[in-house]
Structures are given as C-alpha cells and as structure tokens.
A and B are shown apart, each in its own frame.
Chain A
C-alpha cells in the first residue's frame, strides 16, 4: 500500500473548439474516500474524469493518480483504475459473459480465469441468469451493473464512476449506492460524478461543486450547506391555539422572524445560534406550551447549488433527461 492522496489534480484544462469544457480544475482525493463531483450537465464532469482516467490529454495542468502522472505514465495509471462511464462501455452485440471474458483476457487473465472471474462477478451483480444473453437485450439497470462489474475485474484501488445512477429507477439506484459503499469498505477510493444533489449528500465524504469547467466550491456536505448559512428550527405546537404565543416567544428569544403554517401549527425560524435554542425551550416550558415535534432543518444541497452558481441544478437535470429521451 502506498501513502499520499489517490488523486491530485492541479489546474486541469481541456478546450473543445471555443468551449473551455474544463477550465482549471484542482482536486485532491484522499485514499479510501468517496469523492463527489457535483454539477449540471455540461459542467465539465465527464471531461475531468476522462483526463484523470487517461482517456483525454489535458491541455494544461497536471494530474497524478497514486503519485503517477496521467500524461507521463498512462499505462501505470490504467493499472490502478476502473472506469464506468455515463453510457455503458460494454459490447452490445455479445453476451455479458463474453464481454467479461474479453476484458479479463485483455487484463492478462487466461481464458479460463477470465471466465471464472466473469461468472463470479456476474453472479454477485445479479446477472448470472443473463450471462449468456446479448447485452443489447439488457435493461438500462442491468447494463449499468454489467458495466460496473467489468470495471471491477482487476479489483482496482481507484474507481471512477461517471453518473452511475443517471436514468436508473429508485430501487436500482439504491442498489448502486450499496455497491459503492461496499467498494469503499473493501478499501477502494471512489470518485463519482452526479447531477443528483442527494446522491452526493448520501455517498460522498467530500464534494466538489463544478460549474462551467470550474470548481466553484469544495468541502464536506455539511461545510457546503454551512456556506449557505443558517439552518432552520422547526417546532410543532401541540395545541394549535397556542401557536401565536409560541411565535412571540421564538421571536423574543431568537431575535428572528418566525413563519407559521396555520394548518399544521408549525413554526419555522432561522437558527443562527444553537445556544439560544436551549433558552427558547426553557421559555416555552415556563409558558406551558407543549411541543409535538422539534427538528432542525439544514439547507439542502439544492439551495447550496443555487447560492453558489446562481442557477439551480434542477433545470440542468431536466435538460439531461430530455437528451436521454432523444438519444
């Protein structure tokens, strides 16, 4: 095992014509982490991964995978990574098993070993029944699983997942998340790109928000949410008649304006200083106001995205879905 970060990238640039697809991206991914690259379609996520995975040559900047430069030692880097693309990189015309055999043999396994390992992986990805069927007849989720399975033949220490769940139904998406968590437990480092904010939130230890080829924010999910500022305090008053009294207490103690949803007797107020919540609760007890529910709501990554980039990720999401339908 070696020390140092799994990925180090400084000032990566890739220009397509006049479009600066990636415009100076810095990344640092520690070993054993799940690192999320979050951004809308066309933000430069795939291009960044392609450069890190030696598929594209950066025009400026440098990147090292476990200390090996992607331009100077591409073959070494390729021995350390597995890549699962946004669109399944498998052969549609032949069967799942035949795909695995070809990839396994290219990785230096004998025909027999490649077949054994292929069957094993297909089995663990729930594709054993479909092993002999042509991939063209697979569903989207099956294809994605096969794609990931073929990236894992050599059990690489670093795995790139480019939008691993785009276009998958919620159940299959949940399975994919489990696989990713399993990979990290096994000691792999995972870099995943996603348009889904909750996916990055669920899986990633650290997140880079990327927009128009630049990293516009970086940190843990909590840090990013912290950038948008305050969390909200949510109270549900047991006796709806007491709601207004509660509001008065909140405004007095927290010093902020509270909003009320009448039907649910719910009071929401921005929470700047958690210390004061204790004071508020004591005050409510003194006034004999009973609470059914109390919770703190952190800002969602959607809000983070809007704050940082000035536009939402959702609009880009829809555009991406349209594209997929058209394609």
Chain B
C-alpha cells in the first residue's frame, strides 16, 4: 500500500454542551440498539438457541407429560403453552446480562465511554434489542403450539399476553444487567442466573397444578411471581380475561425496574 494517509484539520467545536439532552439520549439509545441488531446479523448462532428452544420444549413437555398431567396432549396445551412461553422468555432474559458482560469486556466500550454520549445509552440500547428476542420466542412458541393443536380462545387477549410477557421479561432483564455489569465474567452471570432461574421457573405452576404439591411447597409455588405471570398469560390466552394476576405481574415488573434500573445504571457509570 503506497497510499498517503490524509488527515483532515482539527475542528474546535463551536458549541460545547455540558449535559446530554433527552433527545440525544433517545437517539443514542436507538443507535446502540441498531448496533446490537447488526451484531446479531453477524452472529446468527446466538439466535440458534432462541429459535430452537420453543420447538424442543413444547414438543418435549407436551408429549412427555401431556397424558400424565392432563389426560391428553391437547388438554395439556392451554396450560402448557403459556408456561413454555414464560419459561423461555425469562430464561432468555439472562442473555442480556451475559452479553452485556462480554460486550463490556471488549475494547469498544472504552470508546463509548470516551464519546460525548449519554452513559445510559449502551445499557438502554442493549435492553431494547432484547425485547425483539422475547417477541420471537413468544411468537414461535405460539406457532409451534398451534401446529400441534393449541387453539386459544382469548382473541386479543393473546396479543395482550404476548405484550405482558415481553414487558415482564424486559423488567427482569434489569436484574441480569446488574449482574452483568458487576460480575467478573459472563460465565459467572450465567451460573448465578441459572441457580436462581431453575428453581424459580420449576417451583411454580408452570408444568404441574400446584394442588399436587406437598403442603409446604404449595404456598411457595403459589406466591412465586412466575406463577402469577403464567396464570395471567393463561387467563388471557384461554378466555381473554384480564385478571388480578396481570396487575400483580405488572406491579412486580415496576418494582423490579424501580429497584434494579437505578442500581444497574449506577454500577455501570461507576465502572464507566
């Protein structure tokens, strides 16, 4: 290469702003979301699990437990599909944390920190893109369910159920984001998250009626926030009913965001 590298003269900014306004923050968040999207396009393997999980879990649980728990596969589906959706999406929310950690370990975050941009934009952008992942899991699981005979009668309630799941998963992902910002490695995030998520999703009303559980476990499963979300989704998909569980779930989501979003942002800025 013989090309002479030509550099442009320095420009001293005429207007220096001390703080970043809301408009710039929003546009920078969108840019970060755009970045996450082009990264996704370059690394499609990261989507493999997201796209395969709904198939595997729906088939596995429906045909394994359908007969034992509900008498037949088609009778089990109305209860099962909401459970698979919730489980899949909540598990997928962990990826927010692991990817954030991996991303922050690469040098590119040093550049983001040296740019005159809102400190929250990289976080907000990442969380925004993750909602696309949740939407994909929700839609795919519903599709797989429909293929094997799931016929929900909820009408618009099905759309509401999908939205409720996405909003809740987004709220939950703030927990993993905090873990991602503070943990040393992505593996740590994954490990801790699994430790919390496995009992939380299984000690719930996801796959078995809580009435079959021993006395000491039943109140735990009933109080489990995952149970509330699943019940809400079931009611919405089966009959389109907006029950108390929808409210409980939304309150839970708001509380999680109110607690974890400020903590995460603070931890991120301190690191940044």
Q: Identify the A interface with B (CB < 8 A).
A: 1-2, 53-55, 68, 73, 75-76, 78-83, 85, 87-95, 98-99, 102-103, 105-108, 124-126, 134, 145, 150-152, 154-157, 175, 178-179, 182-183, 185-188
Contacts and interface: CB of A to CB of B under 8 A. Distances in A.
Interface in B88-114: 106-114
21 contacts: A55-B113, A75-B17, A75-B19, A75-B20, A75-B116, A81-B114, A85-B107, A85-B111, A89-B108, A89-B109, A89-B111, A98-B38, A103-B111, A105-B34, A106-B121, A126-B3, A145-B5, A156-B10, A175-B5, A179-B7, A182-B7
Interface residues of B, number: 42
B28 A106 contact: yes
Interface in B1-57: 1, 3-13, 16-20, 24, 27-28, 31-32, 34-35, 38-39, 42-43
Contacts of A152: 7-8
B42 A134 contact: yes
B117 interface: yes
Identify the 7 closest CB pairs spanning chains A and B, nearest first.
A186-B9, A89-B111, A78-B116, A89-B107, A182-B7, A188-B10, A155-B11
A182 B6 CA distance: 7
A175 B113 CA distance: 27
Nearest to B41: A94
Given A89-B107, A89-B108, 16 more contacts: A2-B12, A55-B110, A75-B18, A78-B114, A78-B117, A79-B17, A85-B110, A89-B114, A92-B106, A105-B31, A106-B115, A106-B121, A107-B117, A124-B5, A125-B5, A186-B9
Contacts of A83: 110-111, 114
Nearest to B272: A55
A94 B42 contact: yes
A90 B43 contact: no
Contact of B10 (A73, A105, A125, A187): A187
Given A106-B115, A154-B11, A94 B4 contact: no
B18 A73 contact: yes
Nearest to A125: B5
B114 A55 contact: yes
B10 A124 contact: no
Contacts of A187: 9-10
Residue from A78, A91, A106, A134 whose CB has the most chain B CB atoms within 10 Å:
A106
Contacts of B272: 55
Residue from A75, A76, A179, A182 whose CB has the most chain B CB atoms within 10 Å:
A75
B5 A94 contact: no
B10 A93 contact: no
Nearest to B11: A155
Contacts of B18: 73, 75-76
Contacts of A78: 114-117
Nearest to A157: B10
A183 B4 CA distance: 13
A150 B7 CA distance: 12
Contact of B35 (A53, A87, A91): A91
Residue from B24, B31, B112 whose CB has the most chain A CB atoms within 10 Å:
B31
A313 B121 CA distance: 41
A124 B43 CA distance: 29
A107 B42 contact: no
A106 B17 contact: no
Contacts of B109: 89
A82 B10 CA distance: 11
Contacts of A155: 8-11
Contact of B110 (A89, A98, A156): A89
Contacts of B27: 105
B95 to A, nearest CB: 15
Contact of A102 (B3, B6, B9, B31): B31
A163 to B, nearest CB: 13
Contacts of B8: 152, 155, 186
B108 A90 contact: yes
A303 B20 CA distance: 49
Given A87-B107, A90-B108, A79 B116 contact: yes
B114 A106 contact: no
A94 B35 contact: yes
Contacts of A90: 107-108, 111
Contacts of B17: 75-76, 79
B116 to A, nearest CB: 4
A155 B108 CA distance: 19
Contact of B39 (A2, A94, A154, A175): A94
A187 B9 CA distance: 6
